[in-house]
Amino acid sequence: MAMDLITTNPDSTNVASVEFTSGIDSTYKVYIFKFYDVNPATDNVEFFFEGSIDGGSNYGITKTTGFFEAYQEEDAGSPSLSYKTAHDETGATDPQTLFHDLGNAADDSVSGELFLFSPSNPYSLTLRQFFGTFSGSYITSADPASVTTYIGGYFDHGNAINAVKFKMSSGNMDGVIKMYGVK
């Protein structure tokens, strides 16, 4: 499986969001977004993902998702693997959480990857599936923790998803996001 680098976000310093509004079409069957050291300016925020069917003019496509996380505090206490219903979307148009409770210290970044399958497939009449895995650290009331999140779901729309947006729930962010295509 060969991946073609399509684009890298143009400005990775102190931006409100990163949008990919071109290059998502029927050329590739799978689009892979890779995230490197994404760090928020604001402490204790969520990292979000949204899709668009009109080139990024509007976001908020209906989606249904599941959200799990593996959690380990830095002091080796309280490990867990859990389903997080608070970060699910069930027929909702809200942004999808990719990572939550992200701190803004220099070592509180998140990295990961998100796969978007056949966003322009004319044979998939309503479902545009995606899944992702993200690792980072977040702030809790006790100790900082190392966390890996697992997100899976689909956009429930017959039109092609042709743009995506990544942002924090509050404030700006730094980091690199690359978009690849797989035929």
With a cut of 50, list the residues of the chain below it in pLDDT: none
Look at strands 127-138 and 110-117 and give their pairing.
antiparallel
Start-to-end CA distance of the chain, whole Å, equals: 8
Domain that holds residue 52: 3-182
Could you give the number of structural domains in the chain? 1
Q: Count CA within 13 A, CB hemisphere, residue 108.
A: 22
Q: What is the pLDDT of residue 141?
A: 53
Q: Which structure tokens are listed for 156?
A: 């429930």
Q: What is the pLDDT of residue 130?
A: 95
pLDDT at position 9, please? 85
| pLDDT at position 121 | 72
Write the CATH number for 131: 2.60.120
Averaged pLDDT of the chain: 89
pTM: 0.92
Per-residue pLDDT tens over the stretch 45-77:
999 999 999 999 999 899 999 999 998 887 777
